A and B are shown apart, each in its own frame.
Chain A
Amino acid sequence: MSHLAYANKPHQTDGGHDYIALISAGFDGELDDQELLTMLDRHQSDINASCWQTWQLIGDTLRQSPSTHPSQLAQRVAEQLKHEPTVLAPKPLRAMHTRHMMSLAASVSVVALVSWSALHLALISPHTTQLASSAPASSHAIQIAQIDPARLASFVAAHRDFALSADSPDTDTSTQNTAEPTQ
Protein backbone atom coordinates (compact mmCIF):
# COMPACT_ATOMS: atom_id res chain seq x y z
CA MET A 1 0.00 0.00 0.00
CA SER A 2 1.40 3.35 -1.01
CA HIS A 3 1.50 6.19 1.45
CA LEU A 4 -0.93 8.14 -0.65
CA ALA A 5 -3.32 5.21 -0.75
CA TYR A 6 -3.15 4.99 3.00
CA ALA A 7 -3.48 8.71 3.48
CA ASN A 8 -6.59 8.71 1.35
CA LYS A 9 -8.19 5.95 3.35
CA PRO A 10 -11.02 6.89 5.65
CA HIS A 11 -10.16 8.62 8.87
CA GLN A 12 -8.49 6.23 11.32
CA THR A 13 -8.11 6.92 14.97
CA ASP A 14 -6.99 3.55 16.20
CA GLY A 15 -3.33 4.60 16.42
CA GLY A 16 -2.21 1.40 14.73
CA HIS A 17 1.24 0.63 13.42
CA ASP A 18 0.41 1.78 9.87
CA TYR A 19 -0.66 5.13 11.23
CA ILE A 20 2.59 5.53 13.19
CA ALA A 21 4.63 4.42 10.23
CA LEU A 22 2.94 7.09 8.14
CA ILE A 23 3.90 9.80 10.62
CA SER A 24 7.44 8.46 10.64
CA ALA A 25 7.49 8.59 6.87
CA GLY A 26 6.33 12.18 7.07
CA PHE A 27 9.24 13.07 9.33
CA ASP A 28 11.68 11.30 7.09
CA GLY A 29 10.56 13.18 4.04
CA GLU A 30 9.34 10.03 2.39
CA LEU A 31 5.96 11.56 1.60
CA ASP A 32 5.53 13.98 -1.21
CA ASP A 33 3.67 17.20 -0.52
CA GLN A 34 0.31 15.79 -1.47
CA GLU A 35 0.70 12.78 0.75
CA LEU A 36 1.93 14.87 3.65
CA LEU A 37 -0.88 17.36 3.19
CA THR A 38 -3.40 14.59 3.20
CA MET A 39 -1.86 12.93 6.21
CA LEU A 40 -1.83 16.14 8.21
CA ASP A 41 -5.36 16.97 7.19
CA ARG A 42 -6.75 13.58 8.12
CA HIS A 43 -4.73 12.87 11.24
CA GLN A 44 -4.12 16.29 12.69
CA SER A 45 -6.46 15.61 15.58
CA ASP A 46 -5.06 12.16 16.05
CA ILE A 47 -1.49 13.14 16.39
CA ASN A 48 -1.34 12.75 20.08
CA ALA A 49 1.38 14.13 22.31
CA SER A 50 3.14 10.86 22.96
CA CYS A 51 3.57 10.12 19.29
CA TRP A 52 5.01 13.56 18.60
CA GLN A 53 7.20 13.25 21.65
CA THR A 54 8.63 9.95 20.49
CA TRP A 55 9.56 11.07 17.01
CA GLN A 56 10.66 14.54 17.98
CA LEU A 57 12.78 13.08 20.77
CA ILE A 58 14.57 10.89 18.27
CA GLY A 59 15.04 13.84 15.96
CA ASP A 60 16.27 16.04 18.79
CA THR A 61 18.67 13.34 19.93
CA LEU A 62 20.14 13.03 16.49
CA ARG A 63 20.35 16.79 16.21
CA GLN A 64 21.82 16.93 19.70
CA SER A 65 19.42 19.70 20.70
CA PRO A 66 18.28 18.58 24.13
CA SER A 67 17.23 22.01 25.32
CA THR A 68 13.62 21.56 24.24
CA HIS A 69 11.53 19.52 26.62
CA PRO A 70 9.57 16.85 24.78
CA SER A 71 6.24 17.83 26.29
CA GLN A 72 6.80 21.46 25.43
CA LEU A 73 7.76 20.41 21.98
CA ALA A 74 4.61 18.40 21.60
CA GLN A 75 2.51 21.31 22.80
CA ARG A 76 4.35 23.65 20.50
CA VAL A 77 3.85 21.37 17.52
CA ALA A 78 0.22 20.83 18.42
CA GLU A 79 -0.30 24.56 18.63
CA GLN A 80 1.50 25.01 15.37
CA LEU A 81 -0.65 22.45 13.69
CA LYS A 82 -3.81 23.92 15.18
CA HIS A 83 -3.20 27.39 13.85
CA GLU A 84 -1.18 26.70 10.81
CA PRO A 85 -3.06 26.75 7.53
CA THR A 86 -2.83 23.52 5.67
CA VAL A 87 -1.09 25.24 2.82
CA LEU A 88 2.46 24.12 2.56
CA ALA A 89 5.30 25.93 0.90
CA PRO A 90 4.95 26.32 -2.83
CA LYS A 91 7.93 24.09 -3.53
CA PRO A 92 7.44 20.37 -3.21
CA LEU A 93 8.10 19.50 0.40
CA ARG A 94 9.91 16.31 -0.43
CA ALA A 95 12.35 18.10 -2.69
CA MET A 96 12.88 20.81 -0.09
CA HIS A 97 13.32 18.34 2.67
CA THR A 98 15.69 16.18 0.71
CA ARG A 99 17.67 19.16 -0.50
CA HIS A 100 17.86 20.51 3.01
CA MET A 101 19.06 17.19 4.31
CA MET A 102 21.56 16.80 1.50
CA SER A 103 22.86 20.28 2.18
CA LEU A 104 23.17 19.46 5.82
CA ALA A 105 24.94 16.20 5.04
CA ALA A 106 27.23 18.00 2.61
CA SER A 107 28.00 20.62 5.23
CA VAL A 108 28.79 17.98 7.76
CA SER A 109 30.94 16.22 5.20
CA VAL A 110 32.83 19.42 4.48
CA VAL A 111 33.33 19.95 8.19
CA ALA A 112 34.54 16.39 8.47
CA LEU A 113 36.93 16.83 5.57
CA VAL A 114 38.24 20.08 7.00
CA SER A 115 38.76 18.33 10.30
CA TRP A 116 40.65 15.54 8.58
CA SER A 117 42.75 18.04 6.67
CA ALA A 118 43.50 19.98 9.82
CA LEU A 119 44.40 16.76 11.55
CA HIS A 120 46.79 15.76 8.80
CA LEU A 121 48.24 19.23 8.51
CA ALA A 122 48.86 19.16 12.22
CA LEU A 123 50.63 15.85 11.84
CA ILE A 124 52.74 17.01 8.96
CA SER A 125 53.58 20.41 10.30
CA PRO A 126 53.31 20.01 14.02
CA HIS A 127 54.89 23.05 15.48
CA THR A 128 55.25 25.66 12.82
CA THR A 129 52.54 27.66 14.50
CA GLN A 130 54.13 27.21 17.87
CA LEU A 131 57.42 28.45 16.57
CA ALA A 132 55.78 31.39 14.93
CA SER A 133 53.86 32.30 18.03
CA SER A 134 56.26 31.60 20.81
CA ALA A 135 59.76 31.76 19.41
CA PRO A 136 61.72 33.96 21.74
CA ALA A 137 63.09 36.95 19.96
CA SER A 138 66.83 37.09 20.12
CA SER A 139 68.21 40.35 21.35
CA HIS A 140 71.41 39.69 19.44
CA ALA A 141 72.30 40.82 15.99
CA ILE A 142 74.08 37.57 15.27
CA GLN A 143 76.63 37.49 12.53
CA ILE A 144 78.36 34.61 10.85
CA ALA A 145 81.39 33.60 12.88
CA GLN A 146 84.71 32.63 11.38
CA ILE A 147 85.74 29.50 13.22
CA ASP A 148 88.71 27.41 12.28
CA PRO A 149 87.36 24.32 10.49
CA ALA A 150 89.46 22.00 12.61
CA ARG A 151 88.10 23.48 15.82
CA LEU A 152 84.60 23.40 14.44
CA ALA A 153 84.92 19.75 13.45
CA SER A 154 86.29 18.86 16.87
CA PHE A 155 83.36 20.52 18.59
CA VAL A 156 80.83 18.81 16.37
CA ALA A 157 82.44 15.40 16.84
CA ALA A 158 82.60 15.81 20.61
CA HIS A 159 78.99 16.94 20.68
CA ARG A 160 77.75 14.04 18.55
CA ASP A 161 79.23 11.63 21.02
CA PHE A 162 76.52 12.65 23.48
CA ALA A 163 73.73 13.65 21.13
CA LEU A 164 70.80 11.57 20.01
CA SER A 165 72.23 9.70 17.06
CA ALA A 166 69.97 11.12 14.42
CA ASP A 167 73.20 12.19 12.80
CA SER A 168 75.60 10.32 10.61
CA PRO A 169 76.50 7.26 12.65
CA ASP A 170 80.02 6.75 11.49
CA THR A 171 81.87 8.90 9.08
CA ASP A 172 82.26 12.60 8.78
CA THR A 173 84.93 13.81 6.44
CA SER A 174 85.15 17.13 8.22
CA THR A 175 86.53 15.56 11.38
CA GLN A 176 90.21 15.35 11.98
CA ASN A 177 90.29 12.46 14.40
CA THR A 178 91.07 8.93 13.49
CA ALA A 179 90.56 6.22 16.00
CA GLU A 180 92.05 2.81 16.05
CA PRO A 181 93.63 2.30 19.42
CA THR A 182 95.72 -0.82 19.51
CA GLN A 183 97.72 -2.50 22.14
Chain B
Amino acid sequence: MKLWLTCLLFACMPAWADAPTTPTDAATWLNRVAQATHQLTYQGVFVYQSQNIMAISHISHLIDNNGEISRLDALSGPPHAFLRIDGSVYCSFQNKPSGDIEHRPHHSFFPEVLPYPNTHLNNFYQVRSLGHAKIADHDCEGVLLIPRDAYRYGYALWADSTSHVLLRLIKLDAHGQTASQLTFTQIDIGHAPTRAQLSIDFNDKLPIKQSGNETEPKAVWQITNPPSGFHRVTETVMTLPDHAQPITHLVYSDGLATVSLFIERQTQPNTFHQQGLVQQGQMLLYTRPMGQYQVTAVGAVPLATLVLMADNLAPIERK
Protein backbone atom coordinates (compact mmCIF):
# COMPACT_ATOMS: atom_id res chain seq x y z
CA MET B 1 0.00 0.00 0.00
CA LYS B 2 2.94 2.30 0.65
CA LEU B 3 4.03 1.86 -2.93
CA TRP B 4 0.60 2.82 -4.17
CA LEU B 5 0.67 5.95 -2.05
CA THR B 6 4.15 6.75 -3.35
CA CYS B 7 2.91 6.39 -6.90
CA LEU B 8 -0.08 8.55 -6.13
CA LEU B 9 2.20 11.24 -4.73
CA PHE B 10 4.38 11.17 -7.84
CA ALA B 11 1.34 11.28 -10.08
CA CYS B 12 0.06 14.34 -8.28
CA MET B 13 3.36 16.27 -8.43
CA PRO B 14 2.90 18.09 -11.75
CA ALA B 15 -0.62 19.13 -10.90
CA TRP B 16 0.50 20.33 -7.51
CA ALA B 17 3.46 22.20 -9.00
CA ASP B 18 1.29 23.83 -11.63
CA ALA B 19 -1.43 24.70 -9.18
CA PRO B 20 -2.35 28.35 -9.54
CA THR B 21 -1.08 30.16 -6.50
CA THR B 22 -1.03 33.91 -6.86
CA PRO B 23 -1.60 35.68 -9.03
CA THR B 24 -3.84 34.08 -11.63
CA ASP B 25 -5.49 37.06 -13.24
CA ALA B 26 -3.17 39.31 -15.22
CA ALA B 27 -5.32 42.42 -15.18
CA THR B 28 -6.16 42.18 -11.47
CA TRP B 29 -2.58 41.57 -10.42
CA LEU B 30 -1.16 44.24 -12.69
CA ASN B 31 -3.73 46.77 -11.54
CA ARG B 32 -2.88 46.01 -7.94
CA VAL B 33 0.84 46.40 -8.61
CA ALA B 34 0.38 49.55 -10.67
CA GLN B 35 -1.85 51.09 -8.02
CA ALA B 36 0.56 50.30 -5.18
CA THR B 37 3.52 51.58 -7.18
CA HIS B 38 1.70 54.85 -7.87
CA GLN B 39 0.24 55.38 -4.43
CA LEU B 40 2.98 54.32 -2.00
CA THR B 41 6.06 56.17 -0.79
CA TYR B 42 9.46 54.55 -1.35
CA GLN B 43 13.06 55.20 -2.31
CA GLY B 44 15.74 52.94 -3.64
CA VAL B 45 18.40 52.12 -6.20
CA PHE B 46 17.66 50.25 -9.39
CA VAL B 47 19.74 48.98 -12.27
CA TYR B 48 18.90 48.98 -15.93
CA GLN B 49 20.61 46.32 -18.02
CA SER B 50 20.36 45.56 -21.69
CA GLN B 51 23.03 43.62 -23.53
CA ASN B 52 26.22 45.60 -22.84
CA ILE B 53 24.49 48.66 -21.40
CA MET B 54 24.07 49.23 -17.69
CA ALA B 55 22.77 52.28 -15.87
CA ILE B 56 22.24 52.82 -12.15
CA SER B 57 19.67 55.25 -10.80
CA HIS B 58 18.17 56.31 -7.51
CA ILE B 59 14.42 56.85 -7.35
CA SER B 60 12.46 58.67 -4.67
CA HIS B 61 8.68 58.56 -4.79
CA LEU B 62 6.74 60.56 -2.23
CA ILE B 63 3.02 60.75 -1.58
CA ASP B 64 2.10 63.56 0.82
CA ASN B 65 -0.77 65.97 1.37
CA ASN B 66 0.19 67.86 -1.77
CA GLY B 67 0.06 64.81 -3.97
CA GLU B 68 2.78 62.88 -5.78
CA ILE B 69 6.37 63.84 -6.48
CA SER B 70 9.17 61.68 -7.93
CA ARG B 71 12.86 62.31 -8.33
CA LEU B 72 15.26 60.25 -10.42
CA ASP B 73 18.99 60.71 -9.87
CA ALA B 74 21.46 59.16 -12.29
CA LEU B 75 24.21 57.38 -10.37
CA SER B 76 26.08 56.46 -13.55
CA GLY B 77 26.84 58.44 -16.68
CA PRO B 78 26.63 62.22 -16.73
CA PRO B 79 25.36 63.50 -13.35
CA HIS B 80 21.82 64.70 -13.72
CA ALA B 81 18.40 64.30 -12.19
CA PHE B 82 14.78 64.39 -13.23
CA LEU B 83 11.85 65.59 -11.18
CA ARG B 84 8.25 64.84 -11.97
CA ILE B 85 5.41 66.76 -10.35
CA ASP B 86 1.81 66.54 -11.48
CA GLY B 87 2.75 65.10 -14.84
CA SER B 88 5.43 67.69 -15.62
CA VAL B 89 9.04 66.58 -15.93
CA TYR B 90 12.03 68.75 -15.03
CA CYS B 91 15.71 68.07 -15.64
CA SER B 92 18.76 69.32 -13.76
CA PHE B 93 22.49 68.92 -14.37
CA GLN B 94 25.22 69.29 -11.81
CA ASN B 95 27.57 70.09 -14.65
CA LYS B 96 26.94 70.42 -18.31
CA PRO B 97 26.94 66.80 -19.43
CA SER B 98 29.36 65.49 -21.97
CA GLY B 99 26.72 63.17 -23.31
CA ASP B 100 23.21 63.91 -24.38
CA ILE B 101 20.04 63.55 -22.39
CA GLU B 102 16.87 62.40 -24.03
CA HIS B 103 13.94 64.71 -24.17
CA ARG B 104 11.15 63.03 -22.24
CA PRO B 105 8.39 65.41 -21.30
CA HIS B 106 6.16 62.40 -20.61
CA HIS B 107 8.92 60.44 -18.92
CA SER B 108 7.62 57.82 -16.50
CA PHE B 109 10.19 56.77 -13.93
CA PHE B 110 10.67 53.14 -13.04
CA PRO B 111 8.89 51.49 -11.31
CA GLU B 112 5.87 53.62 -12.31
CA VAL B 113 5.66 52.14 -15.76
CA LEU B 114 2.51 50.05 -15.69
CA PRO B 115 -0.75 51.42 -17.00
CA TYR B 116 -3.56 51.86 -14.50
CA PRO B 117 -6.26 50.85 -14.74
CA ASN B 118 -5.97 48.20 -17.38
CA THR B 119 -8.68 45.60 -17.68
CA HIS B 120 -7.98 44.11 -21.08
CA LEU B 121 -4.54 42.58 -20.67
CA ASN B 122 -5.99 39.11 -20.11
CA ASN B 123 -7.18 39.16 -23.70
CA PHE B 124 -3.67 39.60 -25.06
CA TYR B 125 -1.40 38.04 -22.46
CA GLN B 126 -1.58 34.75 -20.67
CA VAL B 127 -0.39 34.99 -17.09
CA ARG B 128 1.67 32.32 -15.39
CA SER B 129 2.94 32.46 -11.85
CA LEU B 130 6.69 32.51 -11.38
CA GLY B 131 6.42 31.88 -7.67
CA HIS B 132 8.45 33.78 -5.14
CA ALA B 133 11.91 35.28 -5.33
CA LYS B 134 14.09 37.46 -3.18
CA ILE B 135 14.77 40.86 -4.74
CA ALA B 136 16.54 43.67 -2.89
CA ASP B 137 15.95 41.69 0.31
CA HIS B 138 12.19 41.68 -0.28
CA ASP B 139 10.05 38.62 -0.82
CA CYS B 140 8.47 39.06 -4.22
CA GLU B 141 5.88 37.23 -6.26
CA GLY B 142 6.39 37.10 -9.99
CA VAL B 143 4.30 36.60 -13.07
CA LEU B 144 5.14 35.80 -16.62
CA LEU B 145 3.04 37.52 -19.26
CA ILE B 146 2.96 35.36 -22.34
CA PRO B 147 1.60 37.03 -25.48
CA ARG B 148 -1.41 35.28 -26.95
CA ASP B 149 -0.41 36.24 -30.49
CA ALA B 150 2.70 37.18 -32.41
CA TYR B 151 2.16 40.94 -32.31
CA ARG B 152 3.88 41.55 -28.98
CA TYR B 153 6.62 40.21 -26.73
CA GLY B 154 6.41 38.82 -23.24
CA TYR B 155 7.27 40.28 -19.86
CA ALA B 156 8.29 39.00 -16.47
CA LEU B 157 7.43 41.09 -13.45
CA TRP B 158 8.10 40.75 -9.74
CA ALA B 159 6.39 42.80 -7.08
CA ASP B 160 6.90 42.98 -3.33
CA SER B 161 4.54 40.37 -1.92
CA THR B 162 3.47 42.64 0.94
CA SER B 163 3.22 46.13 -0.54
CA HIS B 164 2.91 45.05 -4.20
CA VAL B 165 5.39 47.68 -5.37
CA LEU B 166 7.00 46.59 -8.64
CA LEU B 167 10.62 45.65 -8.02
CA ARG B 168 11.70 43.99 -11.24
CA LEU B 169 10.60 44.24 -14.84
CA ILE B 170 12.07 42.06 -17.55
CA LYS B 171 11.26 42.55 -21.18
CA LEU B 172 11.57 39.37 -23.23
CA ASP B 173 12.50 38.99 -26.85
CA ALA B 174 11.03 36.82 -29.58
CA HIS B 175 12.76 33.76 -28.14
CA GLY B 176 11.55 34.33 -24.60
CA GLN B 177 15.00 35.44 -23.51
CA THR B 178 15.74 38.56 -21.50
CA ALA B 179 16.10 41.58 -23.74
CA SER B 180 16.35 44.17 -20.99
CA GLN B 181 15.56 44.45 -17.32
CA LEU B 182 15.09 46.98 -14.60
CA THR B 183 15.55 45.73 -11.07
CA PHE B 184 15.93 47.23 -7.64
CA THR B 185 19.09 46.42 -5.73
CA GLN B 186 17.87 48.26 -2.65
CA ILE B 187 14.51 49.76 -1.73
CA ASP B 188 12.99 51.28 1.37
CA ILE B 189 9.21 51.12 1.12
CA GLY B 190 7.36 53.67 3.23
CA HIS B 191 10.16 56.22 3.45
CA ALA B 192 11.37 59.02 1.17
CA PRO B 193 12.90 62.48 1.52
CA THR B 194 10.57 65.42 2.03
CA ARG B 195 9.12 67.39 -0.86
CA ALA B 196 11.53 70.26 -0.16
CA GLN B 197 14.51 67.92 -0.22
CA LEU B 198 13.39 66.36 -3.47
CA SER B 199 12.81 69.75 -5.12
CA ILE B 200 16.26 71.11 -4.37
CA ASP B 201 18.23 71.94 -7.54
CA PHE B 202 14.98 72.38 -9.44
CA ASN B 203 13.80 75.77 -8.20
CA ASP B 204 14.84 77.59 -11.37
CA LYS B 205 13.79 74.92 -13.83
CA LEU B 206 10.93 74.83 -16.27
CA PRO B 207 9.21 71.65 -17.40
CA ILE B 208 10.79 69.88 -20.31
CA LYS B 209 9.05 70.60 -23.56
CA GLN B 210 9.38 68.76 -26.77
CA SER B 211 11.62 70.62 -29.18
CA GLY B 212 9.63 72.95 -31.34
CA ASN B 213 5.90 72.85 -31.19
CA GLU B 214 3.87 70.04 -29.73
CA THR B 215 0.16 70.27 -30.07
CA GLU B 216 -2.64 67.78 -29.86
CA PRO B 217 -4.77 68.42 -32.89
CA LYS B 218 -8.04 66.86 -33.75
CA ALA B 219 -7.29 63.28 -34.68
CA VAL B 220 -6.33 63.14 -38.33
CA TRP B 221 -4.89 59.67 -38.69
CA GLN B 222 -5.99 56.24 -37.69
CA ILE B 223 -4.96 52.62 -38.13
CA THR B 224 -7.90 50.93 -39.74
CA ASN B 225 -7.01 47.41 -38.66
CA PRO B 226 -4.51 47.46 -35.78
CA PRO B 227 -3.36 44.26 -34.07
CA SER B 228 -5.82 43.17 -31.42
CA GLY B 229 -5.54 45.15 -28.22
CA PHE B 230 -3.65 48.12 -29.62
CA HIS B 231 -5.55 51.35 -29.12
CA ARG B 232 -4.76 54.98 -29.80
CA VAL B 233 -2.97 56.71 -26.92
CA THR B 234 -2.31 60.10 -28.40
CA GLU B 235 -1.76 62.01 -31.61
CA THR B 236 0.46 65.08 -31.54
CA VAL B 237 2.07 67.36 -34.08
CA MET B 238 5.63 68.39 -33.29
CA THR B 239 8.78 69.68 -34.83
CA LEU B 240 11.87 67.65 -34.31
CA PRO B 241 15.42 68.95 -34.68
CA ASP B 242 16.66 68.73 -38.25
CA HIS B 243 13.12 68.25 -39.49
CA ALA B 244 11.83 71.05 -41.64
CA GLN B 245 8.21 70.00 -41.57
CA PRO B 246 5.95 69.35 -38.60
CA ILE B 247 5.60 65.67 -37.92
CA THR B 248 2.51 63.90 -36.71
CA HIS B 249 3.29 61.47 -33.90
CA LEU B 250 0.67 58.78 -33.45
CA VAL B 251 0.99 56.43 -30.45
CA TYR B 252 -0.73 53.05 -30.11
CA SER B 253 -0.39 50.71 -27.15
CA ASP B 254 -1.92 47.57 -25.71
CA GLY B 255 -1.00 48.78 -22.22
CA LEU B 256 2.48 47.29 -22.27
CA ALA B 257 3.73 47.23 -25.85
CA THR B 258 3.86 50.61 -27.55
CA VAL B 259 4.20 51.62 -31.20
CA SER B 260 4.82 55.11 -32.54
CA LEU B 261 4.02 56.19 -36.07
CA PHE B 262 5.63 59.32 -37.46
CA ILE B 263 3.97 60.86 -40.48
CA GLU B 264 5.90 63.43 -42.49
CA ARG B 265 4.73 65.29 -45.53
CA GLN B 266 7.25 65.30 -48.34
CA THR B 267 7.97 68.85 -49.37
CA GLN B 268 9.67 67.81 -52.58
CA PRO B 269 9.15 64.69 -54.63
CA ASN B 270 11.34 61.78 -53.57
CA THR B 271 12.71 63.68 -50.59
CA PHE B 272 13.01 60.49 -48.56
CA HIS B 273 10.80 58.22 -50.54
CA GLN B 274 11.95 54.82 -49.34
CA GLN B 275 10.79 51.61 -47.78
CA GLY B 276 12.84 49.52 -45.41
CA LEU B 277 13.80 48.47 -41.94
CA VAL B 278 16.27 49.68 -39.35
CA GLN B 279 17.10 47.86 -36.12
CA GLN B 280 18.65 49.52 -33.10
CA GLY B 281 18.96 47.03 -30.29
CA GLN B 282 15.48 45.74 -29.60
CA MET B 283 13.95 48.76 -31.29
CA LEU B 284 12.75 48.35 -34.85
CA LEU B 285 11.95 51.12 -37.34
CA TYR B 286 9.95 50.37 -40.43
CA THR B 287 9.48 53.16 -42.95
CA ARG B 288 7.40 53.35 -46.10
CA PRO B 289 6.04 56.01 -48.44
CA MET B 290 2.33 56.66 -48.49
CA GLY B 291 1.29 59.06 -51.21
CA GLN B 292 2.84 62.40 -50.39
CA TYR B 293 3.77 61.21 -46.89
CA GLN B 294 6.54 59.15 -45.41
CA VAL B 295 5.40 56.89 -42.57
CA THR B 296 7.84 55.52 -40.00
CA ALA B 297 6.69 52.99 -37.41
CA VAL B 298 8.87 52.55 -34.31
CA GLY B 299 8.65 50.13 -31.45
CA ALA B 300 10.24 47.28 -29.53
CA VAL B 301 7.72 44.90 -31.03
CA PRO B 302 7.79 42.21 -33.71
CA LEU B 303 8.27 43.41 -37.26
CA ALA B 304 4.83 42.10 -38.22
CA THR B 305 3.26 44.60 -35.82
CA LEU B 306 5.05 47.56 -37.36
CA VAL B 307 4.31 46.45 -40.91
CA LEU B 308 0.63 45.85 -40.16
CA MET B 309 0.24 49.25 -38.51
CA ALA B 310 2.17 51.23 -41.11
CA ASP B 311 0.35 49.52 -43.96
CA ASN B 312 -3.07 50.15 -42.42
CA LEU B 313 -2.54 53.82 -41.64
CA ALA B 314 -5.09 56.10 -43.26
CA PRO B 315 -6.45 59.62 -42.80
CA ILE B 316 -9.73 59.82 -40.93
CA GLU B 317 -12.50 60.67 -43.31
CA ARG B 318 -14.61 63.58 -42.15
CA LYS B 319 -18.23 63.76 -43.20
Contacts and interface: CB of A to CB of B under 8 A. Distances in A.
A158 B92 CA distance: 20
Interface in A162-177: 162-177
Interface string B93-121: 10001011111111111100110000000
A161 B107 contact: yes
Contacts, number: 270
User: Which residue, B100, B114, B276, has most C-beta atoms of chain A within 10 A?
Assistant: B100
B204 interface: yes
B130 interface: yes
A121 B285 CA distance: 31
Given A167-B50, A177-B241, A159 B110 contact: no
Interface centre among A58, A122, A161 (most CB of B within 10 A): A161
A148 B7 CA distance: 66
Contacts of A9: none
A109 B154 contact: no
Contacts of A109: 10
Interface string B141-155: 000101111110111
A74 B238 CA distance: 85
B122 to A, nearest CB: 16
A75 to B, nearest CB: 23
B303 A126 contact: no
Interface residues of A, number: 72
Interface stretch (A37-45, A79-87, A131-139): A131-139
7 A-B pairs with least C-beta separation? A145-B276, A115-B14, A125-B176, A159-B260, A166-B171, A126-B146, A154-B240
Interface of B: 1-8, 10-11, 13-14, 17-18, 48, 50, 53, 55, 57, 72, 74, 77-78, 80, 82, 91-93, 97, 99-110, 113-114, 128, 130, 144, 146-151, 153-155, 169-172, 174-177, 179-182, 204-211, 233-234, 238, 240-243, 249, 251, 253, 256-258, 260, 262, 272, 274-278, 280, 283, 285-287, 296, 298-300, 302-304, 307-308
12 contacts: A62-B4, A127-B176, A138-B307, A140-B307, A147-B278, A154-B240, A154-B242, A155-B260, A169-B55, A172-B100, A175-B101, A175-B103
